[in-house]
Amino acid sequence: MADDTRKPSPQAPPPPRAPANVMPGGTAHTAGGEKTSAAGPTYIDAVRSLGPEYYLNFHKRPCIRDSQLQGIAAGFAGGSLAAIIGKPVLIASNWAVATWCGVSVVSYQVCQYYRSKEKAGMKQAADLMEKKRASIEAKKEARRRAREEYDRKEEALRREEERKRSWGYWYEKNVKFW
Q: How far is CA 178 from the centre of its chain?
A: 83
pTM tops 0.85, yes or no: no
Give the tens place of pLDDT for each residue, 71-99.
999 999 999 999 999 999 999 999 999 99
- Confidence band for 160, pLDDT divided at 50, 70 and 90: confident
Q: Is 159 exposed, middle or buried (0-12, 13-18, 19+ CB in 10 A)?
A: exposed
Comparing 17 with 64, the larger pLDDT belongs to 64
- Are the C-beta atoms of 71 and 103 separated by less than 8 Å? yes
